[in-house]
Amino acid sequence: MESSRGSWWKVVIHYLSWLVASLLAIVDALLLREALISILVWNQTRIIEAQRAQGLVPEKIQLGFTTEAVSQWALFILGITVVAAVIWVEYYFRKGIAIGKFFQRIGIILGTEVGIIVLAVILQMVFS
Question: φ and ψ at 106, to 5 degrees?
Answer: -60, -45
DSSP 93: H
- Give the pLDDT of residue 39: 92
- Give the pLDDT of residue 46: 86
CA 67 to the chain's CA centroid = 19
Residue-wise pLDDT for 21-78, tens only, equals 999 999 999 999 999 999 988 988 888 888 888 887 766 666 677 888 888 999 999 9
Decide if 21 contacts 109 (C-beta within 8 A). yes
Alpha helices by DSSP H, 2-101: 2-6, 8-53, 63-99
- Residue 85 pLDDT class (50, 70, 90 cuts): very high
Average pLDDT, the chain: 88
- Give the pLDDT of residue 128: 83
Whole-structure pTM value: 0.83
**Sequence ranges of the domains in the chain:** 2-126
Radius of gyration in angstroms for the set of CA atoms belonging to the chain, rounded to a whole number: 21
